[in-house]
Amino acid sequence: MEATQEINFLSILLPLVLVVFVIAIGVFLLNQHFQKNLIRQQLEREELRNKHQKELLQSNIEVQEAERKRIAKDLHDELGATLSIAKMHLMRLEQMHPSLESKGLSIRNVRNIIETSIASVRQISHHLMPNQLETFGLIRSLEGMVDQINESKQVEIDFEIPQNPSKLSWEKELGLYRIFMELIQNTLKHSQAKNVEISCHEDDGFVTMRYKDDGVGLPEKMVHGLGLKSMEARIKAVGGSLEFIRGDGFAARLTVPIKDD
Amino acid sequence: MFESIAKSVIDYSNIPTFIVGIYTMAIYKRLPREMKYFSWFVFVSFVVQVIASILFYNSENNLPLLHIYTVVGFVCLIIFYNQIFDGLIKPLILWVLAAVFVVYSVINSIFIQDIYTFNSYALSVEAVIIIILSLTTFVFLMNDIVKERRLAIIKSISWINAGLFIYYSSSLLVFYFGNMIISFAQSPLVRYTWFIYALFSIIMYFCFFVGLWKRPRKSIS
């Protein structure tokens, strides 16, 4: 009698336990699945947000560059041309009235000032938008800049270039050019360096450029100033990376993918 | 005294179905997307209950309706849960579950439990699945990211989900012990069991009503 009751009890209880077990397993598996999908969705959103930020940054830089190009063109074509005409008139005046010089009216001085102004306008215009970058590309432009600086004897720059450098997109070349300009300016202004080494090589679809000077190096506490932020923004906008290496002097490594996304 | 209360509860347990059904019809257009899908379940319950009542008063067997209701109601609830999970649980999983259940339920009605008998097997399986989904929903709604995303609708969903959980977990026990209870056919135990079943049905519709009442009043996209 007792045995029958036990069997009855077990035959009722065991399936019930099984049902509860099935429910528990079901809830557990669905929750695991949900948590996994939630993490995946979050990552996707994060990626999308980053992409959006990158696009925003890119368009910001594009607008900035377009504006620079316009100002550079206006300066060069309009102000530069006006000053050249003024210089031409002064030269004619000098030739036509040589007696004015003897009366204390120094036309030559005015002409010199105008010539200096024309040179300044050209320099500013060139800094705003380097024409040779569009014509000759990044490597040649950097070479030209290096030659100019070496001529000034302020620092000695050693520029090591690859045999057949790949052609990068205009945005990447301009970005890298601006970053190098900033790095060289920092070296000239703050580092007290005597030598600078710039190297460029290509590997695995990436261009890696190294910049190193033998100056005082980065301060212990690095302040993220406007120049640094601008460099970081530019490299991020072209999908590259910028890394500062601590050690003797200052060193930085820039990596940019050769192909566009 | 208790006998008369139990009898009244059993007799009038249909009323909440009608009230919630009519209320849902009245507010259908103002309901957010997820709750619109839920209201399909309420409408199906409402229509089935009306037809079942008519058949009952004409002394005709209304159990074939229950077989249909089990399948259609389940599919409606799967659609509702699919909307709640919003892709965080792959819709395919729920659709496969729905398809398997429909096939099982049809096989059960044709070969195992005749359409003129109580389809306790299909109802038990349905209850197990709904319990799993409702428990998962509780965990789902506790997640901070989900809370943030669905702040407006979370109260409504919680009430509706609680109603489903309470009803289906009690039903599961009733269906599970169904055969044993039937063996006590002459005892008041049968009446008490149906009283408990009806009581939980009333509680479920009360939860539905609160959930629908607490719906977001502004339209959400």
**What letters, b where the CB count within 10 A reaches 16 and e where it falls short, cover A166-184?**
eebeebbbbbbbbbbbbbb
Residue among B132, B141, B169, B182 with most chain A CBs within 10 A, to mutate: B132
Nearest to B79 by CA among B46, B110, B102: B102
Q: Kindly tell me if the per-residue pLDDT of B71 is higher than 90.
A: yes
Between A103 and B214, name the one with better pLDDT: B214
Question: Do the chains contact at A30 and B132, CB–CB below 8 Å?
Answer: yes
Using a CB-CB distance cutoff of 8 angstroms, which residues of chain B are in contact with residue A34?
85, 88-89, 136, 139-140
Question: Do the chains contact at A23 and B132, CB–CB below 8 Å?
Answer: yes
Using a CB-CB distance cutoff of 8 angstroms, which residues of chain B are in contact with residue A23?
128, 131-132, 135
Cβ count within 10 A of residue A110:
15
Which of B124, B131, B140 shows the shortest C-beta gap to A34?
A: B140
- Compute φ and ψ for A156, nearest 5 degrees: -110, 115
Note whether residue B198 is domain-resident.
yes
| 3-class SS of residue B118 | coil
Using a CB-CB distance cutoff of 8 angstroms, which residues of chain B are in contact with residue A41?
87-88
Calculate how close chain B gets to A50, using CA atoms only, in Å: 19
Which residues are registered as beta bridge partners of A256? A207
Note whether residue B220 is domain-resident.
no
pTM of the predicted protein model:
0.66
Looking up tokens 């089990």, which residue turns up?
Answer: B70
Query: Residues in chain B whose beta carbon is closer than 8 A to a beta carbon of chain A?
Result: 85, 87-90, 93, 124, 128-129, 131-133, 135-136, 139-140, 143, 145-146, 172, 176-177, 180
Q: What CATH number did the domain enclosing B32 receive?
A: 1.20.1070
Note whether residue B185 is domain-resident.
yes
Q: What is the mean pLDDT of residues B177-204?
A: 78
Note whether residue B40 is domain-resident.
yes
Domain range for B47 is 2-213
What is the interface size between A and B, counted as CB pairs within 8 Å? 49
Q: Read off the tokens for A178.
A: 């601006």
C-alpha torsion B39→B42→B44→B47, nearest 10:
-120
Q: Kindly tell me if the per-residue pLDDT of A175 is higher than 70.
A: yes
Note whether residue B51 is domain-resident.
yes
What ipTM, to 2 d.p.?
Answer: 0.76
Using a CB-CB distance cutoff of 8 angstroms, which residues of chain B are in contact with residue A38?
88, 143, 145-146
The answer to whether A27 faces chain B, any CB pair under 8 Å, is: yes
Using a CB-CB distance cutoff of 8 angstroms, which residues of chain B are in contact with residue A26?
128-129, 132, 136
pLDDT one-digit tens code per residue, A55-71: 888 888 888 888 988 99
- Compute φ and ψ for B90, nearest 5 degrees: -50, 125
Note whether residue B41 is domain-resident.
yes
Question: Do the chains contact at A41 and B88, CB–CB below 8 Å?
Answer: yes
Q: So what's the pLDDT on residue A93?
A: 83
Q: What integer best gives the mean pLDDT of chain B?
A: 88
Choose the weakest-confidence range: B82-91, B104-113, B145-154: B145-154
Note whether residue B221 is domain-resident.
no
Note whether residue B219 is domain-resident.
no
User: N- to C-terminal Cα distance for chain A?
Assistant: 80
Q: So what's the pLDDT on residue B207?
A: 95
Calculate how close chain B gets to A37, using CA atoms only, in Å: 5
Q: Kindly tell me if the per-residue pLDDT of B50 is higher than 70.
A: yes
Residue among A10, A18, A23 with most chain B CBs within 10 A, to mutate: A23
CB of B55 closer than 8 Å to CB of B90: no
Q: Kindly tell me if the per-residue pLDDT of A4 is higher than 70.
A: no
Using a CB-CB distance cutoff of 8 angstroms, which residues of chain A are in contact with residue B136?
26-27, 30-31, 34
Using a CB-CB distance cutoff of 8 angstroms, which residues of chain B are in contact with residue A39?
none
pLDDT one-digit tens code per residue, A184-233: 988 988 888 899 999 988 888 899 999 999 988 877 776 677 788 888 88
The number of domains in chain B is 1
Using a CB-CB distance cutoff of 8 angstroms, which residues of chain A are in contact with residue B101?
none
Confidence of residue B48 (pLDDT cuts 50, 70, 90): very high
The answer to whether A26 faces chain B, any CB pair under 8 Å, is: yes
